[in-house]
Structure 1
Amino acid sequence: MGYALRRGGVVGSFVPLANRWNRCGKTRSETGRPPPGSSRKTAPKRGVSFPLAVRRTRFGAIPPRPSGPSPGRLRNSRCRGRLAMTRSPTYAIVIENLPGIAAAYSEGVAGRVLGEVWRRFEEVLGTQSWTSVPEPWGVRVTYSGTNRSGLDLRELEAAIQAATRELIFNGSSIIVVSLTIRSGENIGSMAPPLHVDTTQFRLDMAAASMAYDALNVGELNFARQPVVGREEGGFALYHECLCRLSGADGSVFMPAVYLGALERLRLTRAFDWSVARSVITMLRREPEAVLGCNISGLSVANDVWWCSVLDELRRSPDIASRLVVEVTETALPQDTGSALEFIRALQATGCRIALDDFGGGLSTIAFARAAKADIVKVDGSLVRQCLAGSEGDRLLHHVVSLAGDFAADVVVEGIESAADLDIAQDAGARWFQGYYFRSLSVPATPPRPSPFPPRALEGFGVMQ
């Protein structure tokens, strides 16, 4: 069944489609023939076909096919901001969580979300050389400028950021959208989820909304934790910046409250982009600092999202050489090839790459070997297993040895006592990280207005 978004009535209201032809003329299957029983009538002027995510027929998905260069995997040179072309490129901005929104809330809410995302692209790109058209799965944007010799993709990146970060309010529901760029070949493979746990989806969306609300207020706060050597009073390899979000009353949201929700909803891209930009700003302010920031495996992709970050790092090699990008492996990259291209692009600027949670997350030996990271961080859970006895000592020794084959520097995390440090040293590690060396200080922030009702924060484990 498909749905239509009525332009003549309330924006975003859905009505069922019964073999209706869309605004492009006729609805055809991949075989080129219209579905059986459909009439050759044009769509009513008031109705525009907007099936949710993809049109579902027994002939399969019927995706539109964007033309022009695919933004899915940009070569390193393309992220410099200029892309040669011979015709107007068209990009598909897909709302990945739109099917989940429809299942957890309603199809009407999903329609209003679709209309709001389109409005935001119109607002950001409307005065530039771009045109945007709403589609069943999101928004199609086309470069319509007169200068066809080059294209500044940072304009598109800015529009994506603006459409993603701002919360969408729909009555008592607060929605955050997950946007990605797909090529024409990839759109056809997109399908609604087979099952959505609506209760979990709503809880995750509430946590994600609070995280993005705190993100939009201003500069992020970070607690720093050093990665130290085995020598006494030792040299710090770098300081990891651990993000701390503050609520409206000054309370602090711990990462466990929102990070899992962001990954389950695939909302990590804009969040990780903001963290990376904030750490780069800190490196500009502190010429002697060497800092690290975390990005989810879901955010590791060589596409338009990271154009401005890569461009800035190329122009500032002194900053790039003092930045360590930690790829957390609590979630796997959606496209391994694109992830490896992004890692190579970062390393080409002078950044160092660290693979986090090795041996405890969803890390794979194949990806660790292909990534050619500069640093591998062994998960602290292996240290806990050593304290529990059994075969923990041998396992930690083997994992540290294996990590040493993949990277020049190996860090053991989760060092909270002298006993933990002895275990990690015996395993052959050179670098260590944990509360044993320095406790984290939670930054204090003044209270501020919040769009959430007073009881919205109940049950979300915040620190007062």
Structure 2
Amino acid sequence: MVDDSEDDAYLLRAELGRRGMAIECRRVDCALDMAAALAAEDWDIVLADHHMPGFDALAALDVLKRSARDVPFIIHSGQISSRQAISAMYDGVDDYVSKGDYERLVPVIERELRGARARRAVRHADSRIQQLAFFDGLSALPNHHLFCNKVNDAIRDSQERGRPPAGAVLVVDIDRFMRINASFGYETGNELLRHIGQRLREGLGPEVVLARLGGDEFGVFLPGAGDRGSVEMLAGWIVRSFDRPLMKDRIELFLTASVGVAMIPTDGEAVLDLLMNAETAIRQIKRDGGNGVRFYERTMNAASAERLALESDLRHAVERGELFLEYQPVISARHLGAVGAEVLVRWQHPRLGRLSPDRFIPMADETGLIVDIGAWVLGEATRQARRWLEVGHERVRVSVNVSAVQFAQPRLLEVVADALRDSALPPASLVLEITESSLMTDVESAVGMLRALKNMGVQVAVDDFGTGYSSLSYLKRLPIDIVKIDKSFVRDLCEDEGDAAIVRAIIALAGNLRLSTIAEGVETAEQAEVLRAAGCDFLQGFHFSRPVPLERLVFSTPPC
């Protein structure tokens, strides 16, 4: 109530209360007090006398306008002419009512309050729409759309000012984040993403734009950045910020991040091109194991295009008959004859020729194509092993590698069972080789899968043994048959007493656990002799044979 009369304000309040309005009010009579009242409370309506000493309704309206509050303003005065009142309404007054005319004042107040509520609802809806359109609901950070707008606005602003645009766009990708979702559930994953967003926001300057682009990716925009050194320092801080663990139910969870960087204008002046190039740089980091920083280079696009073409070709390689198998003999250390063979897949590309496994196996793992390729390899290998058995090689075993991707899928049991059934191969003639790192990723799950495979009757070998950190403590728990000693220990076996001691220890431990041992990477007669003397059961390596086509594979006679 803007009124110079305390009595008039009291009467007005009493009359409105008598007519059913529960009100709280404050009387002011000058601009300073009115401004203070508007700042202190969220008022629903202003009722103002028109003529007061040194202050009038239009001056009060001006105070309201400067406060930027959307509050209905009604003149309630006995000293204002109709012409003055109408003029005031053109200035923004919502209505005017003569003093004492409560029959009209109450409906006017109710009408204006309804209008104010409607306007607030519209503003709230607009704010909510704005929030949904431009902000990420999980982290409350700007979303992909707003991030792109801010980058484009900065580039356009520089161009309009006649200056070359400058800046850096960084994409932060959390390495192997799906393991968190798979192990702890999506709710935990979402909570960690919120913590990551908060940690990054707290560490980045106010001029830096941080956004959640989607999934486990965050975007960072450094407007005006032209020095690669300073950009690299900030990207390095982002990577190091993950050194501190994230807590979940008093459990420390350690994550790493890969950061790809695209510079403006050298790597593009359109935000989508910059994001794409930064993500191209991330793919390079991921191939090296993640947890690093990489600036985009133009040569990466050519490599990416070639990789996409190669991936497309690989999807059809099986049906086109471009994949084939080679066999590396497994040699008995006792009589130095071949008693089995490890199957290795090769690709005869129609345009690029013969490709080494290093060119396509990692790609097959990354894309999931290894599952279908692995099923084909297993089927071909078991059929060939059945033919060996039919010609009299009853004790020959065929070894097939199982990738980490295959081993993590319950479908592996079905694939193995189908291959054995279709080929009529006795399960004991099949050896599945599984890398030590695959087993150590989730030991409990690995034990369950290995037991299921053992119940089928197949043999299981741990490949690349010795390259892990905790394998010895788990070895007795794993239901396996064979330990394959990694070639990194065999290479310097005759020169490095440390490697020799490790190999002897592995052979002795396997013997105590009644497991067979195969030494990989045997390249000299001296290595073979040392391994035989140490009690190794089987040998494999270039000293005996490189991987060869089927027609060049010869088993010991008689089979053993």
TM-score (norm 1): 0.50
1:95-110 aligned within 5 A: none
Call closer, same or farther: CA 1:226–1:404 in 2, change over 3 Å.
Answer: same
Correspondent of 2:491 among 375, 379, 384: 384
1:283 aligned to 2:377?
no
SS of aligned partner of 1:371: coil
CA contact (8 A) 1:360 1:382 kept: no
Larger radius of gyration: 2
Call closer, same or farther: CA 1:395–1:282 in 2, change over 3 Å.
Answer: same
SS of aligned partner of 1:429: coil
Report which stretch shifted further, 271-280 or 343-352: 271-280
How far is 1:209 from its partner?
A: 4.8
SS of aligned partner of 1:354: strand
Structure 2 equivalent of residue 98 of structure 1: none
SS of aligned partner of 1:370: coil
Correspondent of 2:325 among 210, 222, 228: 222
1:274 aligned to 2:337?
no
1:231 aligned to 2:334?
yes
How far apart, CA to CA, are the structure 1 residues paired with 2:361 and 2:467? 17
How far apart, CA to CA, are the structure 2 residues paired with 1:36 and 1:393? 73
- Whichever residue aligns with residue 139 of structure 2, its letter is R
How far is 1:352 from its partner?
A: 0.4
1:303-318 aligned within 5 A: 303-304=410-411, 306-311=413-418, 313=420, 318=425
How far is 1:57 from its partner?
A: 1.0
CA contact (8 A) 1:369 1:406 kept: yes
CA contact (8 A) 2:386 2:423 kept: no
Call closer, same or farther: CA 1:333–1:38 in 2, change over 3 Å.
Answer: farther
Bigger relative contact order (CA 8 A; separation at least 6): 1
Call closer, same or farther: CA 1:266–1:370 in 2, change over 3 Å.
Answer: farther
CA contact (8 A) 1:382 1:396 kept: yes
- Whichever residue aligns with residue 229 of structure 1, its letter is S
Q: Deviations over 1:398-440 (max 9, x none)?
A: 2222333455211111112211101212332121111222232
Call closer, same or farther: CA 1:424–1:391 in 2, change over 3 Å.
Answer: same
How far is 1:295 from its partner?
A: 0.9
How far apart, CA to CA, are the structure 2 residues paired with 1:325 and 1:367? 19
Call closer, same or farther: CA 1:184–1:243 in 2, change over 3 Å.
Answer: closer
SS of aligned partner of 2:433: strand
Q: Deviations over 1:301-347 (max 9, x none)?
A: 35235424335547877432211111123555654333322221211
How far apart, CA to CA, are the structure 1 residues paired with 2:126 and 2:188? 23
1:241-280 aligned within 5 A: 241-249=343-351, 251-263=353-365, 268-280=370-382
Write 1 or 2 for the structure with the bigger share of helix. Answer: 2
- Whichever residue aligns with residue 192 of structure 1, its letter is D
- Whichever residue aligns with residue 517 of structure 2, its letter is V
CA contact (8 A) 1:297 1:333 kept: no
1:192 aligned to 2:216?
yes
CA contact (8 A) 1:416 1:436 kept: yes
Correspondent of 1:422 among 529, 533, 548: 529
Structure 2 equivalent of residue 58 of structure 1: 139
Q: Which consecutive residues of structure 1, in runs of 5 or more, have no partner in the other structure?
A: 1-34, 44-50, 61-178, 445-464
Q: Which consecutive residues of structure 2, in runs of 5 or more, have no partner in the other structure?
A: 1-124, 142-177, 190-214, 218-256, 260-281, 288-299, 391-395, 552-560
- Whichever residue aligns with residue 232 of structure 1, its letter is H
CA contact (8 A) 2:521 2:542 kept: yes
- Whichever residue aligns with residue 257 of structure 1, its letter is R
How far is 1:227 from its partner?
A: 1.5
How far apart, CA to CA, are the structure 2 residues paired with 1:301 and 1:271? 15
Call closer, same or farther: CA 1:306–1:430 in 2, change over 3 Å.
Answer: closer
Call closer, same or farther: CA 1:275–1:266 in 2, change over 3 Å.
Answer: same
Q: Deviations over 1:267-311 (max 9, x none)?
A: 543332332233233334443452110012332135235424335
1:374 aligned to 2:398?
no
- Whichever residue aligns with residue 328 of structure 2, its letter is Q
Call closer, same or farther: CA 1:303–1:260 in 2, change over 3 Å.
Answer: same
- Whichever residue aligns with residue 489 of structure 2, its letter is L
- Whichever residue aligns with residue 281 of structure 1, its letter is R
CA contact (8 A) 1:273 1:306 kept: no
How far apart, CA to CA, are the structure 2 residues paired with 1:359 and 1:183? 28
1:31-42 aligned within 5 A: 38=128
Q: Deviations over 1:172-208 (max 9, x none)?
A: xxxxxxx99x989745566526436234567585565
Structure 2 equivalent of residue 452 of structure 1: none
1:74-85 aligned within 5 A: none
Report which stretch shifted further, 372-381 or 273-282: 273-282
- Whichever residue aligns with residue 334 of structure 2, its letter is E
Q: Deviations over 1:190-238 (max 9, x none)?
A: 65264362345675855655544433423741111221212335361x2
Report which stretch shifted further, 420-429 or 303-312: 303-312
SS of aligned partner of 1:391: helix
SS of aligned partner of 1:242: strand
RMSD (Å) for aligned C-alpha atoms: 4.1
SS of aligned partner of 1:231: coil
How far apart, CA to CA, are the structure 1 residues paired with 2:311 and 2:514? 34
How far apart, CA to CA, are the structure 2 residues paired with 1:198 and 1:278? 33
SS of aligned partner of 2:378: helix
How far apart, CA to CA, are the structure 2 residues paired with 1:428 and 1:317? 34
Call closer, same or farther: CA 1:225–1:259 in 2, change over 3 Å.
Answer: same
Using the aligned pairs only, state the percent identity. Answer: 24
How far is 1:387 from its partner?
A: 3.5
Q: Deviations over 1:85-110 (max 9, x none)?
A: xxxxxxxxxxxxxxxxxxxxxxxxxx
- Whichever residue aligns with residue 344 of structure 2, its letter is L
Q: Deviations over 1:9-39 (max 9, x none)?
A: xxxxxxxxxxxxxxxxxxxxxxxxxx99646
Structure 1 equivalent of residue 471 of structure 2: 364
Call closer, same or farther: CA 1:395–1:294 in 2, change over 3 Å.
Answer: same
Structure 2 equivalent of residue 292 of structure 1: 399
Report which stretch shifted further, 254-263 or 307-316: 307-316
SS of aligned partner of 2:317: helix
- Whichever residue aligns with residue 401 of structure 2, its letter is N
How far apart, CA to CA, are the structure 2 residues paired with 1:407 and 1:37? 70
Call closer, same or farther: CA 1:365–1:436 in 2, change over 3 Å.
Answer: same
How far apart, CA to CA, are the structure 2 residues paired with 1:326 and 1:221? 19
Structure 1 equivalent of residue 515 of structure 2: 408
How far apart, CA to CA, are the structure 1 residues paired with 2:338 and 2:361? 30
SS of aligned partner of 2:337: coil
Structure 2 equivalent of residue 352 of structure 1: 459
